[in-house]
A and B are shown apart, each in its own frame.
Chain A
Amino acid sequence: MENVLLRCGPFGARDGEGRVLFESAVLELPERSVTVLEGPSGCGKSTLLRMISGLLPTTGEEIRELGGRSYGRSELPEWRAGVTLLAQDAPVLPGTLEWNLEWPFRLRAADGRAFPRERAAALLEAVGLGGVAADREARSLSGGERHRLALVRGLLWDPPVLLADEPFSGLDRKMAEVCRRLLEAFAARSGHAALVVLHDPIVDRDSVRRIRMTPRGMEVA
């Protein structure tokens, strides 16, 4: 097994009625890997992703380590800049398609990085959005188009780790395949990894690392 790039946990969550969804979930992602998070619908996969990203409140006793560096609670914004969640339903900000790719580079977290305009054009072309006008209002895009836009935004941001919550929903098989390859290429590089929640197991199950969520914890399948 290669170096562990990300280690975080333990996390626990309950559903609306107080039943335990998962307890002491600890997650490790090896470098240069795509890990698929599996589990029945409603078992808390999205919740776990949002807890890893620190968008949902947690006990505060968990550890968050990325590339050997440990992140405290007050460093959550820096952590998220490096362990970036592509949320379910691919939200967009009001504004143009181009603005929706560019805004992360205006954040303090960008640390002066410039928006890679040429790579953006190439990626948009690759996911079939090359023909969409750059000044098109992003909120008018279809669900599938927004998911592709979200993936391109994540790839341009290029953090060490992407947490992708159903990134291929609303895509036809051919386009889902294109997007999967892009995500795999992202994660195959040194210092990178991806954790993916998938509704349809379109990835080749044998080619990726799989983790099954159970109420007792995580099992590497």
Chain B
Amino acid sequence: MNPALIALTPSDLVVASLFVLVAAGLSVALRLGLERRILVAAVRTVVQLGLLGLVLERVFAVRRPIVVVAMIAWMIVFAGREAVARSTRRYGGIWLDAWLTMTVSCLLVGGVVTRVVVGVTPWWEPQYVIPLLGMILGNSLNGISLALERLLEHLDTRRAEVELLLAFGATRAEALREPLRTALRTGLIPITNAMTAAGIVALPGMMTGQILAGTPPMQAVAYQVVVMFMLAAANAIGAVVISLGATRRLVTREGTLRLERLFRAGGARGRGKGRAVRRSAG
């Protein structure tokens, strides 16, 4: 292993868990009522990351492309699920669209980065492929859910404006120009902000991790630049593909609105809604 890396022992983790107890104790002292949730969240962190670590160790050890591909497919499924779960409005076919979008952005951006920019060999080398694709998926997820939320909100609450344009003979593209524009803008703002603030306000997580692991800072910077640009593309592709997918299902080519296909998350299919509510309550 890298000589610069100081290995953490189980006792180090025990000491670290004292930090969580400090947060929970603060909640008790100030009657925030959050101690239960803080502890549950802490346990989830340990269990989820522990499982991930075990899985990654197996995947790295087995060294077979099919295992890496399966892992990526599994990540795509969960990323798509999370993107839909964050949306307060849904439509028939949203799951398929989200998975399709994830797959497109994952293969397109991930393919270029691992094959052309980094030049990973073999193409499925898990040490590179899994973390890079993981970051792409996480960011596509952001782009997708932000753009989708904005687009569906526009079609739902400003339906009359879209219909007004259509009523005067606007084509679908003309009538949807404004909703698509705002949706894509919204999807691209976070990564633009992240690129603007990179290295000034915060050290990017991946770069920090690489430096901790002993990578020379300039190498870590080079990787971070690649990753930032890659994530910008992932956000953009995610936002564009999902927006086009959604508008195709909700507005026909001849400009007839099919908003009966649009519904609010909730009820039997609405576990995502409950999560959203809990998130905003926190």
Q: Which residues of A approach B to under 8 Å, CB–CB? A: 53-57, 73-82, 84-87, 89, 91-94, 103-104, 107-109, 157
Cβ of B169: which chain A residues have Cβ within 8 Å of it? Answer: 77-82, 84, 104, 107-109
A157 CB to nearest chain B CB (Å): 6
Which of A53, A57, A75, A78 contacts B167, CB < 8 Å? Answer: A53
B178 CB to nearest chain A CB (Å): 8
Cβ of B174: which chain A residues have Cβ within 8 Å of it? Answer: 107-108
For the A-B complex with A91-B164, A107-B174 known, give 9 more contacts whose Cβ atoms are closer than 8 Å: A55-B167, A74-B254, A77-B170, A77-B171, A77-B255, A81-B168, A85-B167, A107-B169, A108-B169
Asked whether, in the complex, the Cβ of A89 is within 8 Å of the Cβ of B254, the reply is no
Asked whether, in the complex, the Cβ of A80 is within 8 Å of the Cβ of B255, the reply is yes
The answer for the CA separation of A73 and B96 in the assembled complex, in Å, is 27
Which of A54, A57, A80 contacts B168, CB < 8 Å? Answer: A80
Cβ of A55: which chain B residues have Cβ within 8 Å of it? Answer: 163, 166-167, 255-257
Which of A73, A80, A86, A89 contacts B166, CB < 8 Å? Answer: A80
The answer for the CA separation of A204 and B211 in the assembled complex, in Å, is 84
Q: Which residues of B approach A to under 8 Å, CB–CB? A: 160-161, 163-171, 174, 252-258
Cβ of B164: which chain A residues have Cβ within 8 Å of it? Answer: 87, 91-93
Asked whether, in the complex, the Cβ of B170 is within 8 Å of the Cβ of A54, the reply is no
Asked whether, in the complex, the Cβ of A57 is within 8 Å of the Cβ of B170, the reply is no
Asked whether, in the complex, the Cβ of A84 is within 8 Å of the Cβ of B163, the reply is no
Q: Given the known A-B contacts A91-B160, A93-B161, are A76 and B256 also in contact in the complex, defined by CB atoms under 8 Å?
A: yes
The answer for the CA separation of A54 and B255 in the assembled complex, in Å, is 8
Which of A74, A81, A86 contacts B253, CB < 8 Å? Answer: A74
A126 CB to nearest chain B CB (Å): 21
Cβ of A77: which chain B residues have Cβ within 8 Å of it? Answer: 166, 169-171, 254-255
A-B contact list, 24 entries, CB within 8 Å: A55-B167, A55-B255, A56-B256, A57-B252, A57-B258, A73-B254, A76-B256, A77-B169, A77-B170, A80-B166, A80-B255, A82-B169, A84-B169, A85-B167, A87-B163, A91-B163, A94-B161, A104-B168, A104-B169, A107-B170, A107-B171, A109-B168, A109-B169, A109-B171
Q: Nearest residue in B to A75 (C-beta to C-beta)?
A: B254
The answer for the CA separation of A104 and B254 in the assembled complex, in Å, is 18
Q: Given the known A-B contacts A57-B258, A87-B163, A91-B161, are A107 and B253 also in contact in the complex, defined by CB atoms under 8 Å?
A: no
